[in-house]
Amino acid sequence: MEKISIKRFPFHGWLGLFIIMIFWFLNWNLEGLRTHILFFPLWFGYILTIDAIVFYRKGSSLLKRSVKNFTLLFLISAPAWWLFELINWRTQNWFYDGKQFFTEFEYALLATISFSTVMPAVFETAELVGTFRWIKKFKNLKLLSPTKTTLNKFLLIGFMMLSLILIFPQYFYYFEWAAVYFILEPINYKLKNRTIFDYTSKGDWQLVIALSAGALICGFFWEMWNYYSYPKWIYDTPMVNFLHVFEMPALGYLGYIPFSLELFAIYNFITGLNRKKDSEYIQITLS
């Protein structure tokens, strides 16, 4: 890949780094309630920084390609995460220490603002992962095509997972991080929306790896920055509540892998509703 002069590093990248330093320091050093205000700018700084690094590495990025679509990611992200909050209402795997100091309206508003950063953070990081040459190793692997049998199996698995979550949440709560993907992927295919099958049917698993790695990287920063935050989230994860890395049990990080595919499926489902198939917007591979 052609090297780009440091003078080409976008201004919004330097701005993002500055925002991270300021709000990371404040979030870990101020006393009392603070994270409800500091969470969004901290992650917005992260998103700007990663976007600039992506642009530096390949001359294109989510923000540079379309400010409108970049903004749309934030708007889609908030309701997407509220879906998982709804499922958590049944599973009760995490709760927010500090929520008790807010009214229901204040909490909903502040939480929605914070949730808006989830999808852009994961997609930006996935695109960064896609700029590294090692990901080409996953370009010619086993084919996974959207045959009728495969689509039916996906739907069956997805609804079985969702049913088990609702009926036996204490035993099957971890299916939350896969059920949505298995349900939405066949639906997206039927609606002619973009799907993972567009890639795996050609043996190309680069997108899956990039999304998975991107979510794991974001997961590390989510858990790290949460550790000294307040308000903060705390987990209750039966059977795996040991060997914590920050607040998250070590095995819990595995959930970020299928979660990234769920975000991708939700994004394509929502954007597909208006029939604007902007398939070139999220470019998560090296090419």
Please state the rounded mean pLDDT for residues 149-153: 98
pLDDT in tens, 82-141: 999 999 999 999 999 999 999 999 999 999 999 999 999 999 999 999 999 999 999 999
Instruction: Report whether 270 contacts 278 (CB < 8 A).
Output: no
Strand bridging mode 232-235 / 94-97 = antiparallel
pLDDT for 273: 87
- Tokens in use for 182? 């298995």
Question: Which two structure tokens, joined as six digits, stand for 107?
Answer: 């909490």
User: What is residue 130's three-state secondary structure?
Assistant: coil
Distance from C-alpha of 145 to C-alpha of 114, rounded to nearest angstrom: 36
Q: Say if residues 262 and 181 touch (Cβ distance below 8 Å).
A: yes
CB atoms within 10 A of CB 108: 12
Give mean pLDDT, residues 242-267: 97
pLDDT band, very low/low/confident/very high, at 4 (cuts 50, 70, 90): very low
Place of tokens 């976007």: 51
